[in-house]
């Protein structure tokens, strides 16, 4: 199993190109089930999760061809299979995104109910309620959610839950509604840029969606969708992670292909910490002049601070000059990184969904364990600045969401190595 060895203390300097967004690419790939004709997607990152989605789509009769430069061609060849089995869904929760398209195009979807995961409970009740409102009949057999509908009909529905809306739930309902008869209005829809990107893709295929990017999305059903050529938006979480890498190492990184307008909550928090963020010639330059101010951060649905950067900003705030308060409002249990950062000398006190971060002068390298994608990114960031050597085990978690991160960090001057250890379980 692969692990990273990092010798901390190098200032990162240079240019990094931000890849297409994983969380936009995954539902857009699933949406290809709806299309008649070939789809060409540009900016599809080469990640473990993307390969899992390819595998799932292949099993569902969609051919995928990868071309150099992160281009992926997809085409429906066979519409017989409607089953996303446990093996695939267990590996990647975003597999659930095939539910809406299968139901709308093939009249049936059978998707294994995702179990718990490292960041906490992740139910899909809102997905099912939304699809039911369009006319689907749900059943649960052998751990699979089965949805059937001879015909879907537009409806007005509400997708809010106790933690706000649902990103992939909004995607599922929107994908089903594009082929439903009549108008669907999703109230309390997720406003995340990845949902808006999916809507833009579907419109490029002939769908009639408006209001995406706001909490009220209107979809007028059409008879069919055609193929198209489309470029995935840049990954705001990857961009935010590299911004924090510049800040934590007191370095200077120029980000190419970064949509700063999708990161305003992150920019706001980083500027309060004392990080400089400037636009120049279409790029974003992030630098830090060291003294880091403590702040309060609360993760919220977009346009609030993203939960997917909560762990990374915690790593940064470990080194601020005072006490910070981080509150997680999306996944109250998403704190697996707390114990690992503490092994590196961080002073963290967890109280329910809040962590009090007492700034320390330095972090100290240690062997730590990656538990999920974003927690692993936080450990890498901590390792980049820690005194001495940090060993991060189970880096397959980070490969799910960051394309060859060690190579890109090395290009920026980091001392990080990927090694393999057969005996590590
Ligand atoms: N929720 C419900 N019922 C539902 C669905 C969600 O109560 O039916 C709750 C969840 O438990 C959570 C909140 O609503 O508390 C938001 O969950 P959401 O459904 O929005 O999350 P998701 O769609 O499963 C996506 C991203 C996650 C990201 C979250 C929140 C993808 C593939 N995944 O997940 O990304 O953290 O939105 O922004 O888009 C990651 O990339 O590391 C990652 C975990």
pLDDT of 43 above 50: yes
Global pTM reads 0.97
Q: What is the pLDDT of residue 423?
A: 55
Peptide bond into 2 cis (omega under 30): no
For residue 121 and ligand 1, the question of a CB distance below 6 A is answered with yes
What tokens were used for 385? Answer: 């600045």
Cα–ligand 1 centroid distance for 203 (angstroms)? 24
CA-closest candidate to residue 44, choices 32, 60, 61: 32
Dihedral angle over CA of 242, 248, 254, 258, nearest 10: 30
Q: Are 254 and 285 in contact (CB under 8 A)?
A: yes
Residue nearest ligand 1's atom 24 by CA: 168
Lowest mean pLDDT among 117-131, 177-191, 259-273, 382-396: 117-131
Given a cut of 80, whether residue 116 has pLDDT beyond it is no
**Nearest CA residue ID for atom 11, ligand 1:** 122
The answer, yes or no, to whether any atom of ligand 1 lies below 6 A from the CB of 371, is: no
Nearest to 313 by CA among 291, 341, 279: 341
Annotated catalytic residue within 117, 191, 258, 318? 117
CA 194 – CA 235 distance, rounded (Å): 9
Contact (Cβ atoms closer than 8 angstroms) between residue 345 and residue 360 = yes
Using CA atoms in the order 324, 378, 308, 318, what is the torsion angle rounded to 10 degrees? Answer: 0
Alpha carbon distance 202, 198 (integer Å): 6
Q: How confident is the model at residue 220 (pLDDT cuts 50, 70, 90)?
A: very high
Residue-level pLDDT at 242: 98
Pairing between β-strand 354-358 and β-strand 389-393 as defined by DSSP bridges: unpaired
* Distance, CA of 124 to chain centre: 17
Nearest CA among 410, 348, 349 for reference residue 380: 410
* Residue nearest atom 4 of ligand 1, based on CA coordinates: 124
Number of the ligand 1 atom closest to the C-alpha atom of 23: 39
Q: What confidence tier does 56 reach under pLDDT thresholds 50, 70, 90? A: very high
Atom of ligand 1 nearest to the CA of 331: 15
Ligand 1 near 167 CB (within 6 A):
yes
Distances (CA, A) of 59 to 77, 83, 216, 402: 11, 9, 34, 25
Give the position, in ligand 1's atom list, of the atom nearest the Cα of 169.
Answer: 19
- Please tell me the distance from the alpha carbon of residue 189 to that of residue 157, in angstroms, as a whole number: 9
pLDDT of 67 strictly over 90: yes
Residue pair 340/375 in contact by the 8 Å Cβ criterion: yes
What tens digit of pLDDT does each residue of 89-103 get?
A: 888 999 999 999 999
Give the pLDDT mean for 370-382: 95
Q: 154, 219 in Cβ contact below 8 A? A: yes
* Confidence label for 115 from pLDDT (cuts 50, 70 and 90): low
Residues 24 and 393: their CA atoms lie apart, in Å, by 28
- Rounded Cα distance between 248 and 242, Å, is 10
Total residues found in the chain within this entry: 425
SS3 call for 45: coil
Of the chain, the percentage scoring pLDDT greater than 90 comes to: 91
Mean of the per-residue pLDDT values of the chain? 95
Instruction: Give all strands (DSSP E) within 269-311, no chain letters.
Output: 275-280, 283-288, 296-299
Beta strands in 23-61 (DSSP E): 35-36, 39-42
Residue 424 scores a pLDDT above 60: no
Domains annotated on the chain, with CATH: 2-19+234-420 (3.65.10.10), 22-231 (3.65.10.10)
The one-character DSSP state at 372 is S
> Is pLDDT of 121 > 80?
no
**Separation of alpha carbons 334 and 134, rounded Å:** 32
Testing ligand 1's pocket by substitution, the residue of 25, 115, 168 carrying the most ligand atoms inside 8 A of its CB is 168
Q: Is 123 a pocket residue for ligand 1 (Cβ < 6 Å)?
A: yes
Please determine, for residue 114, whether its predicted confidence score (pLDDT) is greater than 90: no
pLDDT band at 425 (very low <50, low <70, confident <90, very high): very low
Cα–Cα distance, 92 to 112 (Å, whole number): 11
Tokens of 47: 């990640």
117 is catalytic: yes
Residue from 30, 126, 167 whose mutation best tests the ligand 1 pocket (most atoms within 8 A of CB): 167
The predicted-structure confidence for 306-364, as pLDDT tens digits, reads as follows 999 999 999 999 999 999 999 999 999 999 999 999 999 999 999 999 999 999 999 99
Nearest to 34 by CA among 192, 191, 219, 158: 219
**Coil, strand or helix: which one is 160?**
coil
Q: What is the C-alpha to C-alpha distance for residues 247 and 138, in angstroms, rounded to an integer?
A: 48
Q: Which of 247, 274, 197 is nearest to 28 (CA)?
A: 197
């Amino acid at each position: 199993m692969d692990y990273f060895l990092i010798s901390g203390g190098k200032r990162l300097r240079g240019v990094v190109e931000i890849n297409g967004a994983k969380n936009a690419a995954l539902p857009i790939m699933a949406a290809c089930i709806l299309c008649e004709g070939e789809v060409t997607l540009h900016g599809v990152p080469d990640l473990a999760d993307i390969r899992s989605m390819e595998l799932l789509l292949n099993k569902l009769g969609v051919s995928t061809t990868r071309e150099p430069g992160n281009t992926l061609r997809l085409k429906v060849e066979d519409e017989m299979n409607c089953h996303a089995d446990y093996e695939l869904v267990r590996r990647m929760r975003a597999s659930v995104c095939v539910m809406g398209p299968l139901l709308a195009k093939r009249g049936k979807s059978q998707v294994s109910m995702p179990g718990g995961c490292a960041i906490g409970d992740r139910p899909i009740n809102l997905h099912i309620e939304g699809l039911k409102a369009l006319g689907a009949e749900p059943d649960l057999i052998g751990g699979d959610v089965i949805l059937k509908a001879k015909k879907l009909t537009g409806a007005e529905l509400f997708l809010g839950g106790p933690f706000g809306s649902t990103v992939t739930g909004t995607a599922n309902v929107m994908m089903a509604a594009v082929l439903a008869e009549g108008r669907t209005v999703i109230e309390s829809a997720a406003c995340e840029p990845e949902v808006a990107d999916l809507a833009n893709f579907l419109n490029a295929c002939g769908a009639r969606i408006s209001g995406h990017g706001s909490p009220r999305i209107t979809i007028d059903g059409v008879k069919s969708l055609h193929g198209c050529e489309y470029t995935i938006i840049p990954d705001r979480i990857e961009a935010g992670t590299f911004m924090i890498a510049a800040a934590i190492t007191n370095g200077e990184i120029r980000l190419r292909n970064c949509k700063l307008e999708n990161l305003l909550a992150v920019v706001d928090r980083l500027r309060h910490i004392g990080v400089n963020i400037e636009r120049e010639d279409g790029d974003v330059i992030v630098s830090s002049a060291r003294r880091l101010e403590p702040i309060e951060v609360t993760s919220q649905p977009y346009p609030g601070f993203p939960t997917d950067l909560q762990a990374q900003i915690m790593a940064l705030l470990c080194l601020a000059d005072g006490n910070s308060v981080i509150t997680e409002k999306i996944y109250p249990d998403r704190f697996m990184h707390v114990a690992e950062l503490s092994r590196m000398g961080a002073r963290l006190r967890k109280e329910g969904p809040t962590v009090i971060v007492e700034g320390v002068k330095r972090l100290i390298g240690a062997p730590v364990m990656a538990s999920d994608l974003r927690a692993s990114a936080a450990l890498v960031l901590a390792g980049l600045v820690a005194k001495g050597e940090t060993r991060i085990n189970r880096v397959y978690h980070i490969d799910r969401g960051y394309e060859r991160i060690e190579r890109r960090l090395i290009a920026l001057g980091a001392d990080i190595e990927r090694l393999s250890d057969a005996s590590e379980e």
